[in-house]
Each structure stands twice: as C-alpha cells, then as structure tokens.
Amino acid sequence: MKDKIVVITGASSGIGAALAKVAAARDAVPVLVARREDVLRAVAAGCGPRAWPLVADVTRREDVRRVVDETVRRLGHIDVWVNNAGRGISRLPSELTDDDVDEMIRSNVKSALYGMQEVLPHFKQRGEGHVVNVSSMLGRLPFATIRSAYVGAKHFLNALTASFRAEVQQTHPGIQFSLVSPGVVWTEFGRNARHGGPDSRQLPDGQEPAEVAEVIAGVIETRRPDVYTRAGSHDRVVAYFDKVGVDP
C-alpha cells in the first residue's frame, strides 16, 4: 500500500477509522471522508501528517463528486476508493415503511453507487484503479429478520459490485471491484441503526474493527475480488442454502 492514495468513506468511526489507521501504518495516504467534522479531524490526526480529512455526505452525489475532484486536485490522483459508509435498521419486514426502505437504499446502495460512478472516469483515464465495497454477511444470508431492509440493500450492493466488475473489465482490465463481507463487528453499528437496536459491541462471536481493517488492507494489496473477513464464512453460506433446500 506504500504511497497509495486511498479514499475511505465512513471514516469517522468503526471499520473506516480503523482502516485509515492501518493504511497510514502501511505508508498509504488515507483520505478520510465522513460528515462529522470534529470526529473526522480527530481520527485523521491519529493517522499522521499525510492523512487528509474531507467532510462530505456520501448520500449526496454532488458531495461525492466534490471528494473526487478535490482529492485529484490536491493529491494528483486516486488509487483506491473504499465504499465503507452505511447504516443498519431494526424493523421486521412486515413493518417496513417507504421511508425505512428509502433510507437503507440511500445509505447502503446509493452512497456506493455514487462512489463507483464518480471515480470511474478518473480510473478509466489512468487505466487502473480499485474500488472496495464493504458489504456484510447479511448480504449473503438473510438470517436477521430485524435487519430486513439492510439485508436487501447489501444484496443489492453485492450485485452492483459484480455487475460493475463485469462491465468495466471488458474494456479496462486494470480496474478492480472487490467485495468484503464482515460478520458482526464490535462497533456502534447497532446503536446507530434506524429505530435503534442491540449494541453490536455486546453481541457474541464478533470481530474488532482493526481485525476487519487488516483484511480490507490485504484486499487492497492483493486485489482479490470477493473476501470474507472470518474463516469459515463461505462454508456457513453454503450450509445455509443447503438447509433451506436451494437447488444448485
């Protein structure tokens, strides 16, 4: 990752903040993007002098476009774009409202779509680049009914990632789109979910954000297209579909 310019959305806390620190430790140049200026600047300060905080709301296309333009103007180019921003929800599928679904799509799908679409012309111009989309095990397995709309949004993100990869690599094989699927991560995700919910930090069998960040850093270095953050996750997905009787 040495000297790579890595844009990280949702970088004021959780996985994004942890990834910024890991990137800085590996001599990358992290560009930290989030809405909360004071917290974002504090995280950037902990990453060293080359980290650059950039306040933006990635659910707004014009903000994402500004992040691309300002980063290229200041740093010359972008090597890696990490779509990490997102939000959960606590509501059963039978109780979902239009606003619930719209918020999940806006936070988890449109934010990533804007990132991919706005950075893509720059990557095409350079002939190389790397998008990393942070999904979830819930994007593979719909096992948490209270997260119903989040589950759907992450399935959508997975499909978009694969579709972008298939489209772009026909003409620009040097541009990669990777998907990373963590399980439970001990962050404030649960507390910040729409309608509240259980604190993710109190759930069993989770991972520290720093552990997930190390996996993402490995994806940046290897450019692998599809990665789980825990051993055994793939087998768990296969076992789930065997159990529900999905034919091959």
Q: What is the pLDDT of residues 55-86, one digit of tens each?
A: 999 999 999 999 999 999 999 999 999 999 99
Say if residue 202's pLDDT is above 70: yes
* Weakest mean pLDDT among 17-21, 131-135, 204-208: 204-208
Report whether 82 contacts 216 (CB < 8 A): yes
The per-residue pLDDT for range 141-198, each reduced to its tens digit, is: 998 999 999 999 999 999 999 999 999 999 999 999 999 999 989 988 888 899 988 8
Q: Cα–Cα distance between 125 and 174 in angstroms, integer? A: 11
Cα(166)–Cα(160) distance, integer angstroms = 10
Provide the β-strand partners of residue 134: 180
Instruction: Return the CATH superfamily for domain 5-243.
Output: NAD(P)-binding Rossmann-like Domain (3.40.50.720)
Of all helices (H) and strands (E), which one includes residue 33? strand 29-34
Confidence of residue 247 (pLDDT cuts 50, 70, 90): low
Task: Say if residue 231's pLDDT is above 80.
Answer: yes
Give pTM, 2 decimals: 0.95
Mean pLDDT, all residues of the chain? 95
Q: What residue spans of the chain are helical by DSSP H? A: 14-25, 37-45, 61-75, 98-105, 111-126, 148-168, 209-222, 233-243
How many residues are there in the chain?
Answer: 248
Catalytic hit among 114, 150, 228, 240 = 150
Token code pair at residue 23: 């990137």
How many Cα atoms sit within 13 Å of 4 on the Cβ side? Answer: 22
Question: Would you call 240 a catalytic residue per the annotation?
Answer: no
DSSP assignment of 108-133: IIIHHHHHHHHHHHHHHHHT-EEEEE
Where are the chain's structural domains?
5-243
